[in-house]
Amino acid sequence: MATVALDRASERLSVGTTTDAALLRGFLERDRLYAAYALADLDENDSGRARWGVARDDNEGVALVLEYGGPSPQPLFVMGRDDGIDAVLRDVIKPRIAYVAALPENVKAVERRYHLEPGPQMVRMWVDGERFRPVEDPGLERLVPSDVADLNRLYRLGFGSWLGPQAIAEGIYYGIRVRGRLVAAAGTHVIGRASKIAVVGNVLTQPEYRGRGYAKATTGAVTARLLEFCDHVVLNVRADNPPAINAYRRLGYAEHVRFEERLGHRIGSLWADLAAAVRRLGRTRER
């Protein structure tokens, strides 16, 4: 682990990248429900997809930043002590633009390095086998790779996501058809088989079929299958979407924590300067 010594309020931090899976897992397990995506990524053991930055205080990990690989912007996950997060973002993990996930108490540390665009809070919800309340729906079907065209056609209506056949084969997807047409679906974002935790996502119902419980049914089917081999299943929902929150509660999901998930532009970068100029222009026009 390459390190940079930093003085912070009479303490000495060392920061750098690491591939020490035991160190990372031990830190993430301090709040496994919040760190579900990171734990699943650690399970995949794909060094080309993730870059881990860690801050240590007297050889003890105090903060972690996970940068996902791929086309920009990619997710950026932070966890731990503010001074450690700030140090890692300053000297180790420095994307120009990223979707930043941070607990409210860590936002100020992130904002020392990034301009964060406004947005609603996200709610992390969770369920286990004891809490889960399954839903029976005879119209549900497990989707397979050959359903990829129908699934992508549905997702283009909502959030423009695109999935390949491999994602369906490796994940778990359920859908509901009306007269042969796929009108609702839910699936998995990530599955951490070693950590026994998974994230449900890609939940969408065509607008004209909403209000019929399809999202609850498909989410319930995916959750039930995951709980056959996972201890915990989590999902994210916007805090300003009470109907969805209540639907998930009826499945047994409970709120764990609220967090920020916002697009961030690194301070001092061209992208940050352009984004700030656009925001100022928008405020001027509103006056």
Q: Which domain holds residue 235?
A: 132-252
- Taking only the tens place, the pLDDT of each residue in 101-117 is 999 999 999 999 999 99
Q: What's the rounded mean pLDDT across residues 120-139?
A: 92
In the predicted structure, residue 120 carries a pLDDT above the cut 60: yes
The verdict on 146 and 233 lying in the same domain is: yes
Helices 214-226 and 242-250 sit at what angle, rounded to 10 degrees? 50
pLDDT at 137: 75
- Taking only the tens place, the pLDDT of each residue in 242-255 is 999 999 999 999 99
Of the two residues 242 and 71, the one the predictor is more confident about is: 242
In a domain, 127, yes or no: no
Angle at Cα 195 formed by Cα 194 and Cα 197, nearest 5°? 120
What is the distance, to the nearest Å, from the Cα of residue 21 to the centroid of all Cα atoms in its chain?
A: 20
Q: Which of 3-17, 63-77, 191-205 has the lowest mean pLDDT?
A: 3-17
- Taking only the tens place, the pLDDT of each residue in 147-202 is 999 999 998 865 556 788 999 999 999 999 999 999 999 999 999 999 999 999 99
CATH code: domain of residue 239: 3.40.630.30
In the predicted structure, residue 277 carries a pLDDT above the cut 80: no
**CA 168 to CA 187: how far, in whole Å?**
8
The verdict on 162 and 63 lying in the same domain is: no
pLDDT at 49: 78
Give the DSSP letter of residue 117: P
The verdict on 18 and 74 lying in the same domain is: yes
CATH code: domain of residue 19: 3.40.630
In a domain, 147, yes or no: yes
Mean residue pLDDT of the chain comes to 89
The verdict on 267 and 214 lying in the same domain is: no
The verdict on 228 and 146 lying in the same domain is: yes
**Proportion of the chain above pLDDT 70, given as a percent:** 86
The verdict on 51 and 78 lying in the same domain is: yes
In a domain, 117, yes or no: yes
The verdict on 223 and 145 lying in the same domain is: yes
The verdict on 246 and 144 lying in the same domain is: yes
pLDDT at 286: 46
pLDDT at 46: 55
pLDDT at 44: 78
Give the DSSP letter of residue 266: E
- Taking only the tens place, the pLDDT of each residue in 19-50 is 999 999 999 999 999 999 999 999 876 546 79
pLDDT at 48: 60
Three-class SS state of 64: strand
- Taking only the tens place, the pLDDT of each residue in 201-238 is 999 999 999 989 999 999 999 999 999 999 999 999 99
In a domain, 13, yes or no: yes
The verdict on 84 and 154 lying in the same domain is: no
The verdict on 109 and 20 lying in the same domain is: yes
The verdict on 198 and 179 lying in the same domain is: yes
The verdict on 114 and 209 lying in the same domain is: no
pLDDT at 22: 94
**CA 212 to CA 208: how far, in whole Å?**
10
Per the structure block, which two tokens stand in for 187? 């699936």
In a domain, 62, yes or no: yes
In a domain, 213, yes or no: yes
Report the number of distinct structural domains present in the chain: 2
* Contact partners, residue 276, CB within 8 Å, separation at least 6: 115, 265
In a domain, 187, yes or no: yes
